[in-house]
Structure 1
Amino acid sequence: MEPLWKLQYLLEPSSLALISTAAAVVFASAHRALGHEIALGGGSSSKEMIIGASSVTLDSSQALMIPLASSCSLLLMFYLFSSVSQIITLLTTAMAAASLAFCIAPYAARLGSPRIQAPLVAAATATAIALWLVSGHWLLNNLLGISICVAFVCHIRLPNVRVCALLLACLFVYDVFWVFWSERFFGANVMVSVATQQASNPVRTVADKLNLPGLGSITKQLDMPVKLVFPRHLIGGAAGNPNAVGDYLMLGLGDMAIPGMLVALVVCFDHRKSTKARGSELPSPKNQHKYTWYAQCGYTIGLICALAAGLLTHSAQPALLYLVPSTLGPVMLSAWMRGDFNELWNGSSRLSDKSQLDVV
């Protein structure tokens, strides 16, 4: 156990950047999910180009399968990553491109006529992907990772807190096992090993085989955009070996996307409750986000606790160990105290009624 004064490192720029970025991504993902739900329901009056419009609502059996499927994928990546890294890179690149296009489409819709929206989105997406493949810069890695997180929260939905609690409980066990106990069974920390692996860059491989001149600056290895990374020495650049794991703070996308699904659930619940209470009138800002802020503040506190535990123990921490109780606990407790527990536990977050689709 490290001395408590080590907690001062939470005030370093890299730590503050990680905390603020993760909290902002969770908040933005949840509210984009609400906007996406409204757009799908026909409540949006804007001529927004909706990319990947369909969404999937999980049931209990699917929630149980997610940790099992994730565990199988983790083991495959642990044992076979070097053999299939270029295939993984291509698949991840395609997923990141689709996610980035989904994220920037609403902004492109504000810049011109519908005829130029698709070319604008395609050009911006292709530019970002090309720059990432050439440089592998951590900022571009974060941009693509954030896009994947936002798209995931928008398209994979939870119907109620009952399914949400089941999913979070299963992923709580999943995260704790693979971070704390996997080394006893597999000889290495599987979660950390997979999270820190770099994939071969297929663009550099092709350039080398074709002996193309002037392409030696293309990075040979790529960090997959499945995590947020910030240099520990954010001001002035990372010291030492920039590829060393110890030079970066990392947070997996799952540690934003999974709590983000809960925040999206309560954002939709708050929106439905507030609009229902006042009919077709605009909801009062005072009552609009009561559960949203419990979940959002709980996420920030849980993330700070996870980083603090990592500093004090000087070891990797399963973030969901802290994020699950800090987000789900306040929401369920406040719902019970306010008399909304049964509705939130069994109800649906879908905005199905036309009266609930007004944008606020």
Structure 2
Amino acid sequence: MEGAVTVVLVSLMFVLSEINCQEAILHISNESTDREYCIVYNHSWTPISATLDAATEYPLVNLTSTSLCNGSGISPDVMKGKAVVVMHGDCNMSQKAIVAQKLGATTLLIAKNRSLVTPSAIESEYAKVHIPLALMRYRDFLEAQQVFGEGMQVKLYAPPYSKIDPSIAVILLISIVTVTLGGFWSGACERDRLNSGDTGGGGGENKADSGELFLYSPLKVVIFVAMMCGMLVLMYFFYNVLVYIIIAIFCLASASALFSCLDAVMEKIGCGTLNFSIQNWNLSLRSLLLSAVCISIAVVWGVYRNEDRWIWILQDLLGVAFCLNFMKTISLSNFKICVILLSLLLVYDVFFVFITPFFTKNGVSIMVQVALGPDASGEKTQGNMVEIPAEPQAPFEKLPVVMRVPRFSAPAQNLCGMQFSILGYGDIIVPGLLVAYCSRFDVWINSRRKIYFVSCCFAYLLGMILTFAVMLLSGMGQPALLYLVPFTLITSSVVAGCRGEMRQFWAGTTYEVLDSSREPLLPEGRTDCTVEGERC
């Protein structure tokens, strides 16, 4: 059961990024009040002011009774020097704009009852339009009419936002702190095990007494990755059913992980426990209180999981706990297993992000489709296009397998709908397993400077920085493992090679459980667990 849960969650944890959108703000006011609404425009076609103060204010004329495909029946005096709002109709937008500017309008707003898609036209029409053109929701215009009546003054502006949003720094901080803490925790557990004289569990389950699960067989690693691929494909075809199963599993797994993390903190700071018995059950007051807190947090997240304004905080908290507990629980027994697992997952990540769009009907990669959900059409729009729903949409279910931080420097985007910077749990867990192995190896060789652990964490940081740099330059989400795996594997190999410890680093330790078909890792005739005079 534990292995199945692992496959289900880990197979869906990879990076996605924010989209380059073209939203702007419609500022409507009168003498006593003002409000702002979301509009969509094409900055390369009809640019508008970057700030509210720089924008020119115009009175708004209501012509929603027409689609303005021609100027018949409309007096130029009605539109001259004013902004005008018309309905979306059968003719194209450039035709409406040409008619509007011939009649003297200064700005054209097109109200739509359907999704707002970035305005476009045939190439020859772009040069003919000289006035700002934008799309707005028809329901927003009706609301504005109720608030302001007929005396509306409007300004259009598009606040600039930096691609290097502060949310990226928050995501980077979350990832590096989680990887570092997870690796440190794994090393601390290994040190406690060695100090207690525990040499690991036996039997076919390959579990230590502490509950850790060791991956030691290359065949099992291959089967594990194959199951991940199968799970991702199943999610692609049966998303609407399986998403609820994943949500339920995440609630259980994250509550358990959060309990494990908080209990370890309580133990570290010396928080005592009050033990008592009920019939044959031995209970702890601390465990009961922690269980209640963790279950409550998971339940609150499950109930309000689609409330974007604040629920991301709980999702990130549960996600950090899940990743930490995963890195502490799942142990890679040697560097050979690390190389096999990380290399296979690198191929997996690249294939499902870059290759699968050639096989899907809508040209969206399976990884993006599964991570964002089939109903997130606006979020998946590529390049310089954006799609905003014209009517309030029922919240669609999203997989809880990403860290999410809202963009801080995108007021127009957040007015149209919250935008997030996203990092998949897999981009923390997968390199984190190697970091955890390096931390344990430092314990085995009694490295006081923790050279393997520190160097691998630094390599992870550099890999993440490169990932975000490429994402910002290309304007596309990147498979982070494409950069993280080479950085961490090569750095670890170089450190082991320079220290002359590659053989030990590659083979791992001797307390791991081996297949009966494999030879012991110690040289023939050796019965201790020392390497060149140092305890391993």
Q: In structure 2, what is the equivalent of residue 18 of structure 1? A: 171
Q: TM-score, normalised by structure 1?
A: 0.78
The match for 1:193 is 369
> Is 1:56 paired with 2:56?
no
Cα shift at 1:103: 1.3
Amino acid at match of 2:241: S
Deviates more, 1:291-300 or 1:58-67: 58-67
Quick check: which one's helix share is greater?
Answer: 1
Give the letter aligned to residue 168 of structure 2.
S
Q: Secondary structure at the match of 1:186?
A: coil
2:504 paired residue number: 343
Cα drift, residue 53 of structure 1: 3.5
Which of residues 260, 271, 283 is equivalent to 1:111? 271
2:406 is aligned to 231
8 A contact 1:141–1:224 mirrored in 2? no
Select which of 411, 415, 425 maps to 1:240.
415
Structure 2 counterpart of 1:95: 253
Structure with more relative contact order (C-alpha pairs < 8 Å, separation 6 or more)? 1
Measured in 1, the distance between the counterparts of 2:295 and 2:219 equals 37
- The aligned residue for residue 291 of structure 2 is 122
Q: How does 1:305-320 map to 2 (within 5 A)?
A: 305-320=466-481
**Contact between 2:243 and 2:398, CA under 8 Å: does it hold in 1?**
no
- Residue 320 of structure 2: which of 118, 143, 146 is its match? 146
Alignment partner, residue 216 of structure 1: none
Per the normalisation by structure 2, the TM-score is 0.53
The residue matched to 1:53 in structure 2 has which SS?
Answer: coil
Q: 8 Å contact 1:198–1:222 — kept in the other structure? A: no
Check the 8 A contact 2:181/2:324 in 1, yes or no: yes
**Post-superposition shift, 1:133?**
2.2
Cα separation, 2, equivalents of 1:345 and 1:319: 25
- The CA deviation at 1:308 is 1.1
Query: Matches of 2:479 and 2:191 in 1, distance apart?
Result: 34
1:19 deviates by 0.7
Per-residue deviation, 1:190? 0.7
Give, in angstroms, the shift of residue 95 of structure 1.
1.3
Compared CA separation, residues 13 and 21, structure 1 to 2 (3 A): same
Matched residue SS, 1:111 = coil
Unaligned runs of 5+ in 2: 1-19, 21-161, 198-208, 276-284, 306-310, 376-393, 514-527, 531-536
Structure 1 or 2, whichever has the larger Rg, is 2
Q: Mark the CA change 1:251 to 1:171 in structure 2 (over 3 Å): closer, same or farther.
A: same
> Within the alignment, does 1:78 sit opposite 2:250 as a pair?
no
Any stretches of 5+ residues in structure 1 without a counterpart? Answer: 3-7, 45-51, 200-218, 276-282, 356-360
User: Cα 1:117–1:236, aligned 2, differ >3 Å: closer, same or farther?
Assistant: farther
RMSD of aligned Cα (Å):
3.1
The corresponding residue for 1:162 is 336
- Alpha-carbon shift at residue 34 of structure 1 (Å): 2.0
Q: Is the CA contact (8 Å cut-off) linking 1:30 and 1:263 kept in structure 2? A: yes
Could you tell me how far apart the structure 1 residues matched to 2:511 and 2:166 are?
Answer: 39
**Matched-pair contact (CA < 8 Å) for 2:334–2:437:** yes
Residues 326-356 of structure 1: per-residue CA shift (max 9 Å, x gap): 111011012111101111011228699999x
**In percent, how many aligned pairs have the same letter?**
27
Q: 1:27 maps to which residue?
A: 180
**Any idea what the Cα deviations from partners look like across 1:38-75, whole Å, max 9, x if unmatched?**
4555649xxxxxxx931111121122122211111111
Shift in Å, 1:311? 1.2
